[in-house]
Amino acid sequence: MAASEKSMRRVALTSLGGTSIEWYDFFIYGTAAALIFPTLFFPPDIPAYIGLIASFGTFAVGFIARPVGGMLFGHFGDRLGRKAALVTAMVMMGVATTLIGLLPGYETIGPFAPVLLILLRFVQGLAVGGQWGGAMLLVTESAPAEKRGFYGAFAQAGAPVGVILANVAFLIVTASVSTEALLDWGWRIPFLASIILIGLSLYVQLTLEDTPAFKELIETTATSATKEAKPRSPVIQALKSYPKEITLAAGAFLGVQVTFYILIVFVISYGTDPAGLALGKSDMLFAVLISTMFQIPALFFFASWSDRHGRRGIYKWGAIVTGLWAFVMFPLINTGSLPLIILALAGGQVAIAMMYGPQAALLTELFSTEVRYSGASLGYQLGAIVGGGFAPIIATSLVAFGSTVWVSGYIACACALTYLSLVLLKETTVTDLDKVA
């Protein structure tokens, strides 16, 4: 049974707020990895591009941790509830990000600086691996079936909103302090601000209830407890029952992840490279900020479209359009014109929304209630590590030893795998979550 309209709005807005701040925490790291960390946390005598690749390597650590977080919180969320898992992940993220803002640099503590940075980035990855499943299921399991895609987009919109918040934070700091002050202490302010997430997690704990689908699962489990033993691990059960769905869900995410992290992380370092376009940091942050705004309304439009016409069709078109746009995008970026760079990035963000908008509902509908948190999180996070975690490193390497045409080809290949995965998946729009339970 779906929640009332008033209750549904509160759940949706809370999910949007929580995921926005959580993704803000995750993404400010990406911005700092492109602009600050190569010189702050690594030896000063290494070549600049090696420092950048090393910095992006620590960025990738968060993605390596995400599937682990998906399994950990998936087990927790399928056993104890979506809300409890989400609140724990939010607190973990808030603490880890705040501590990154307090870390001393390489000149102060030497090699311990990158080691501690990697450790805290790993904790960030664990947290984001758990929060997406909880936030997504809070809205999709509570929503009426005919609006599941639309309400799922509230959880999805947290990613672009987080990018915008992260870039606004760095733009404000960059404009307010000198370059020396930015490298010394200014960059820490956006990280320390994430303590707000801990307060929001308390609000979620005190005001929201768990989803109707999970409550029904608990009641069903209680009445049948004497008939059959409870499975030990929802994660293992999901892997045994849904190996195809988890694999294809990960494949369906590749095109989104590769393109998204090239658009919000790689292009910043590419555009500001003194040997390349040599644009200002503020210009590239502004371009990423403005272009990402186009994704938010597009997410809700395409998610609502999927409610009426099915998830797979619009998702497949998104993979096609994104793969083709990749070959238009970099020629526009390489002009060095800020309006054309914004056009290039905005086109990519809208194309991504064709896939990312319907995704929350699609993954919710692929799995039964008792393993839904685990199955959806595993599919999502495995796609994230393969697609997003290494995208900036691969793109940087392709440009260093080739050209941006190879980066476009990289995006197109990821989108081709996404298209193939969708062909092999079934249409899920008609799924009744209560019956699945």
For residue 231, pLDDT over 90 is answered with no
* Section 40-47 average pLDDT: 79
The sign of the CA dihedral 189, 191, 193, 195 is negative
Q: Is 303 exposed, middle or buried (0-12, 13-18, 19+ CB in 10 A)?
A: buried
Q: Provide mean pLDDT across the span 264-275.
A: 86
Does the pLDDT value for residue 426 go beyond 70? yes
CB 258 within 8 A of CB 414: yes
Q: What is the pLDDT of residues 326-343, one digit of tens each?
A: 999 999 999 999 999 999
**What is the pLDDT of the chain when averaged over all its residues?**
87
Q: Which of 369-378, 404-413, 424-433 has the lowest mean pLDDT?
A: 424-433
Share of the chain above pLDDT 90, in %: 38
Element containing residue 402 per DSSP (H, E): none
Whole-number pLDDT of residue 226: 47
Nearest-angstrom CA–CA distance, 247 and 46: 39
Q: What is the pLDDT of residues 94-117, one digit of tens each?
A: 899 999 999 998 888 888 888 998
Q: Write down the residue that tokens 């302090």 correspond to.
A: 177
pLDDT value of position 220: 72
Note the helical H segments in 81-147: 82-100, 106-109, 112-140
Write down the residue that tokens 């359009």 correspond to.
Answer: 321
Report the candidate in 230, 253, 213, 216 with the shortest Cα–Cα distance to residue 376: 253
pLDDT of residue 434: 64
What pLDDT was estimated at residue 5?
75
In this prediction, residue 227 carries a pLDDT of 47
Q: Can you give the pTM of this predicted structure?
A: 0.85
Question: What's residue 3's pLDDT?
Answer: 55
> Is 261 in contact with 391 (CB distance < 8 Å)?
yes
Q: Tell me: the pLDDT tens digits for 19-31?
A: 888 888 888 888 8
Across residues 286-311, what is the average pLDDT? Answer: 95
CA-CA distance, 279 to 294, in Å (whole number)? 22
Residue 132: count of CB within 10 angstroms of its CB = 30
Predicted pLDDT at 53: 81
pLDDT value of position 414: 97
132-177: per-residue pLDDT in tens?
888 888 898 888 889 999 999 999 999 999 889 888 888 888 888 8
- Please report the sign of the dihedral spanned by the C-alpha atoms of residue 181, residue 182, residue 186, residue 187: negative
Predicted pLDDT at 424:
94
Split at pLDDT 50, 70, 90, the class of 228 is: low
- The pLDDT assigned to 322 comes to 98
What percent of the chain stands above pLDDT 70? Answer: 95
Supply the pLDDT for residue 437. Answer: 47
**All domains in the chain, ordered by first residue:** 7-221+231-436 (1.20.1250.20)
Residue 274's pLDDT is what? 79
Residue 225: pLDDT above 80? no
- Could you tell me the pLDDT band of residue 292, with boundaries at 50, 70 and 90? very high
pLDDT score of 185 more than 50: yes
